Amino acid sequence: MSVPQSSVQISGSSSSTCTSRLHGDLGAGKTTLVRHLLRALGVQGRIKSPTYTVAEPHEAPHLAPHTLVWHFDFYRFDDPREWEDAGFRELFAQPGLKLAEWPEKAAALAPPADLAIHLQAIDDTARQVTLHAHSRTGRSLLQGL
């Protein structure tokens, strides 16, 4: 299954409230996977990496009205408390789809994932993707694949 195909399948099954954690080394394809998922959800225009902004909201026409998809990148966090200080607890409590890269940088402060996505680079053009459900929502997503 290619990355674009898998992201379309995940997005087609997505509920309007879900937290997904993306794990993988630098260059594993986390941001690329998120971009494909956002495109599959109908996001138009430029999709920026949140490496410097930490969080980027996107309106996704293929989800329920007024549902935001939040793309987070915690790579630059030096201290897990930065997550709390930035007000992300409130963002994660709101409805919407949250896609978090480098969630381990937020440690136990971030809410648990419904779905964990592990990416590993096999070579320059291939990735191994492993999905783990951690909730009823996550299991529903996996059953839809």
pLDDT, one tens digit per residue, over 76-133 is 888 878 888 888 888 888 889 999 999 998 878 888 999 999 999 999 899 999 999 9
Measured distance CA(72)–CA(134) in Å, rounded? 19
**What's domain 3-143's superfamily in CATH?**
P-loop containing nucleotide triphosphate hydrolases (3.40.50.300)
105 to 24, 26, 84, 114: CA distances (angstroms) = 13, 14, 12, 18
Q: Where are the domains of the chain?
A: 3-143
Report residue 56's pLDDT band, with 50, 70 and 90 as the boundaries.
very high
Measured distance CA(132)–CA(76) in Å, rounded? 25
pLDDT tens-digit profile of 21-51?
999 999 999 999 999 999 999 999 899 889 8
